[in-house]
Every structure is written in structure tokens, then in C-alpha cells.
Amino acid sequence: MTLPTEPIGSIPRPGYLIDGLGAFAAGRIDAAALAELESRALADTLSRFEETGSPVVSDGEQGKPSFATYPLAGLTALAPDGVVIPFADGHTRQLPRLTAGPFRYATHADEYLTRAKALTDKPVKQAVIAASAISLIYPADGIDGYPQEQFVADLVNEAEADIRRSLDAGAHAVQIDFTEGRLSLKLDPSGGLLRQFVELNNAVLQRFTAEERAKIGVHTCPGGDQDSVHSLDVDYADLLPELFRLEAGNFYVQLASEADPARALQVIADHLRADQRIFVGVIDPIDPRVETPEEVRDRVLTAAKYLPADRLGTCDDCGFSPFADDTSTSRDIAFAKIRARVEGTRLAAEAL
């Protein structure tokens, strides 16, 4: 048998691209010069992906400012003082705040996909941000002349378009990043916020056919930025039952860095629907040590004790550099870990 294996998202940007992003922000280079650096990084990323033997590749988010904010790049109706996301090591990330409507995406993910597909013959996966994450840019005190109900309606339309455009452009799979799911339980232990997030994301997913949803997946993890996380201390058992209410065909679940993966696997087994496939995380991007293929194999075989092998796949726990300026992991280590995932998955498939 074979087991599918897919990357999650971001690959650390090369130094010249990080320098270029800083130069662009400071006005020292123009957009055309930055685009050249992004294209160079993209070509190198795809080449190195292919060298790992990965059956599915991605653009590594080389051109995204972050996994969460790419749709907002270029919008003017934004203020910098939005929701703050705290990480365990004390650092924070801050979302922008919407100041006026109507809300529209300035950038859609298929733009990244199209550039990647032009440079490789491998199947290309595309990551998109969940509508629930973007919903956090609407201010708690509202916007004059633009009620929240209209914002949500606009957001659902835009999130649907983001996914549909990537499917239409030939994405092998579309992955919805839903890292705020676990974080929501830290912000609201009652689970009310999580249920709101699930309902909002389902309002998007329910616009797709069953055949289309088979190519759409949801990724969950406790965040990963600068070797820290935002919600690893939240009990997975409180998240996972709600997660599988999402009308998606695939789920990419962080497990390699989980303290008790067997417990999480049992919860998954108890709530997994017959039409859903699980990609278990077998690589920890925050751990500087490169896992061996044998470790990956053993993690897969553990998962196979709980989950049907014909609905099992593997992935990384998280992207390696979800924010463009995160240099905590090198490109060499990231690709070495991906190679271990690919080889370890092959070994597990042979054993199964």
C-alpha cells in the first residue's frame, strides 16, 4: 500500500528574500525588485522540494507576508492595532483592524499557486487562511455604516472565492489553516468562540460539493512562531470533537509535538467520520533535531493502531516559518525534516 504525505505550508525564506522584504518596507527597493527575489526563492524552494522525493509540493509561502494576512496585503482600510496573539515565550503577533467596508480580499491564494505550477510538474498543494481567522479583524465596537452581519456575509463570499479559485487553478488540495481553533479555547474555555468559528467556516465549506470537499482540508496546530506556540497547553480533547464537525474531507492534525499523542488519536478515532481522511503530524518544525525516518515510521504505525490505514496520511505539525521574518529554523533543516517525513512514510507503508 501507499500512504499520502503532504507538506503543511511555509518554508523558511532565504536570507536574500528576508533582506529584500526589509528593504521594500523601508522604501529602498520597489515592488518589481521584491518580486524578482520572491521568484528566485520560489524556484529554489520547488527544486529542493523535488529533491526530497515529496510526492506533493507547495510554494512554501515564499511570497506571503504571513500565512494569515496575505489576503489583506494592499488593503488601505486597515489600522495596525488589531487583535494581539500571545505566544508562550512572551512574544506577540498582532493582526490589523478593519476600519471601513466593504471588505474584499486584496490577494487570492491562486496567485501563488499559478506561479508555483509554472515551475514544477509535481502536484501543488495550496494553503488558504480560514474565514474565522480573518473575522478577527472586525473591531469589537463595530464600524459605522458597515454592520458586522454585512462584514460576515462579505467574508464568507471572499473565503469561498479564495478556495474555489485555487481548485479551479488546479490545486492538488486546498488546506484551510485553522490555528485559531485551539487558541479560541484559551480565550474562551466555554467553547462558545470555537463553535462560532466552526459555524463560520462551515458557512464557507457548505458552498462546495462533496467531490470538491474531498480536496479541501483543515489544518490544526497550537501555533508555531519563533520556536514558540500559543495554545499547546489547551486540551486537544476539547478541540477535536468540534473540529470534525467541519465539512471538509481532509484533516491535518499536529501530533508529533503532542505530549500524549495516543490520547489524541483515540479522540480522533471516536469522532472521525467515514468520509474524512486524517493526515497525522509526524514532524515537529520547532524541534531543531531532525527526526529519523524510523521515528516517523513508528509514529505512523502508532496512528495506524487507532485509525484505518486506508484513511491515513502524514504531514508536518505546522509550517516551518508561518511569518516571513521567522528565522528560527533554517531551510536546510526544514528540507531535511521533509525528507525524513517522506522516507518514514514510505517505510510505514511497507510495514502496513
pLDDT digits (tens, 9 = 90+) for 155-171: 999 999 999 999 999 99
Q: Would you state the pLDDT for residue 324?
A: 87
Q: What is the pLDDT of residues 31-46, one digit of tens each?
A: 999 999 999 999 999 9
The per-residue pLDDT for 156 is 98
Cβ within 8 Å of residue 235, ≥6 positions away: 185
Residue 219: per-residue pLDDT: 98
pLDDT of residue 312: 98
Question: Span 55-75, mean pLDDT?
Answer: 94
The stretch 108-119 carries a mean pLDDT of: 97
Percent of the chain with pLDDT over 90: 95
Mean pLDDT along residues 226-231: 92
3-state secondary structure at position 254: coil
Whether 1 has a pLDDT exceeding 90, the answer reads: no
> Which pLDDT band, with edges at 50, 70 and 90, does 350 fall under?
very high
SS3 for 69?
coil
CA atoms within 13 A on the CB side of 342: 17
Scan for cell 501555533, then name that residue.
Answer: 223
Taking each helix axis from N to C terminus, what angle separates 15-25 and 31-51, rounded to the nearest 10 degrees? 160
- Amino acid identity for residue 232 in this structure: L
| Cβ atoms 64, 110 nearer than 8 A | no
- Asked if 322 and 278 touch (Cβ cutoff 8 Å), the reply is no
State which amino acid sits at residue 332.
Answer: D
Pairing of strands 173-177, 125-129: parallel
| Domains, the chain | 5-351 (3.20.20.210)
Average pLDDT in the chain: 96
Of 64-68, 294-298, 335-339, 341-345, where does mean pLDDT reach its minimum?
A: 64-68
Residue 310 DSSP class: G
